[in-house]
């Protein structure tokens, strides 16, 4: 537990830094058209998440952890118990964007920016680097959880302040309900410090992975590896949002992820 305190502290700090990223501070006053373009660009990262999850499932050795990751992935593609496919989370994302005022053409034809493409590529490179590490298994889980769940919830939390102007968190007469952003903001969230998950009340995706992470962090080296990975995840998110700040320098920052990331 004491070993995890530095990781918990870092996570809280990085979450705070993402919330106060200059772009996130602009969200409340941003023009809707600009917000939609950011969310459309952000959608490209969402489309990647399935591949990231599939990669992690293949690279994990431990069956119970694989099971957890598999279950989270399969939630993206719900079915009835009779096997009838229901709209996927990807479709919910598309519809939320439409219901906020984007057109199908905007969503489908807006090209992925070079920065978004690079962030997506480098995120994948981080996973590849995990394979070379002595702490591969813990790295995969730490990356997946922090990059794909904890920070995602923070991002959507920041956007929700505006999204909720046009979409509701429940069925109402006036607004359509958000089926993607609102629910991911909640079920992806960090929920609690690692090691403090409560058996009652259910676990978010982040907490489900945290339970495994806690068991995998057995040494200081493993812990340090996680600290570096989570810092890298944050830097990638930061760079992604930097691209929308006028006059910011796109491209690699001093914390460029892959080169700073020797196999641990």
Q: Are strands 167-168 and 176-177 parallel, antiparallel or unpaired?
A: parallel
Assigned token pair, 25: 């501070």
- What does the alpha-carbon distance between residue 93 and residue 180 come to, in Å, rounded to a whole number? 5
Contact (Cβ atoms closer than 8 angstroms) between residue 52 and residue 127: yes
Query: Does residue 215 touch other proteins according to CB under 8 A?
Result: no
The correct pick among 200, 246, 247, 254 for binding other proteins (CB under 8 A) is 200
Asked if 101 touches other proteins (CB under 8 A), the answer is no
The residue among 215, 178, 163 whose CA lies nearest residue 194 is: 215
Least distance from C-beta 170 to other proteins, angstroms? 8
Say whether residue 112 binds other proteins (CB under 8 A): no
Q: Segment near other proteins (CB under 8 A), from 29-37, 156-164, 185-193, 226-234?
A: 185-193
Task: Answer for the pair 175, 193: CB distance below 8 angstroms, yes or no.
Answer: no
Number of residues forming the site for other proteins (CB under 8 A): 21
Residues 6+ apart with CB under 8 A from 159: 27, 35, 39, 181
- The two tokens of residue 41 are 């660009």
Closest distance of CB 197 from other proteins, Å: 9
The nearer residue to other proteins, 61 or 200, going by C-beta atoms, is 200
User: Applying CB under 8 A, which of residues 22, 28, 87, 251 lies at the interface with other proteins?
Assistant: 87
Should residue 55 be labelled a site residue for other proteins when binding is judged by CB under 8 A?
Answer: no
Footprint of other proteins (CB under 8 A): 75, 78, 80-82, 86-87, 92, 171, 179, 183, 186-187, 189, 191, 199-204
């Amino acid at each position: 537990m004491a070993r995890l305190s530095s990781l918990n502290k870092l996570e809280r700090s990085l979450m705070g830094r993402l919330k106060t990223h200059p772009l996130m501070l602009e969200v409340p006053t941003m023009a809707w058209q600009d917000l939609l373009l950011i969310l459309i660009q952000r959608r490209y990262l969402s489309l990647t998440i399935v591949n990231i999850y599939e990669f992690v499932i293949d690279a994990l050795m431990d069956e119970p952890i694989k099971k957890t990751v598999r279950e989270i992935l399969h939630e993206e593609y719900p079915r009835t118990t009779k096997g009838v496919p229901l709209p996927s989370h990807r479709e919910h994302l598309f519809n939320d964007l439409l219901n906020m005022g984007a057109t199908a053409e905007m969503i489908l034809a807006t090209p992925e920016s070079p920065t978004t493409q690079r962030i997506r590529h480098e995120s994948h490179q981080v996973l590849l680097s995990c394979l070379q590490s002595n702490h591969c298994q813990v790295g995969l889980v730490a990356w997946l959880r922090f990059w794909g769940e904890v920070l995602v919830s923070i991002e959507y939390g920041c956007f929700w302040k505006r999204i909720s102007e046009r979409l509701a968190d429940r069925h109402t007469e006036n607004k359509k309900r958000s089926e993607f952003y609102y629910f991911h903001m909640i079920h992806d969230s960090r929920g609690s410090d690692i090691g403090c998950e409560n058996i009652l009340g259910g676990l978010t995706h982040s907490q489900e992975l945290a339970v495994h992470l806690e068991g995998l962090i057995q040494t200081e080296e493993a812990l340090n590896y996680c600290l570096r990975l989570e810092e890298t995840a944050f830097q990638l998110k930061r760079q992604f949002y930097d691209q929308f700040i006028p006059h910011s320098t796109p491209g690699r920052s001093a914390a460029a992820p892959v080169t700073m990331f020797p196999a641990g």
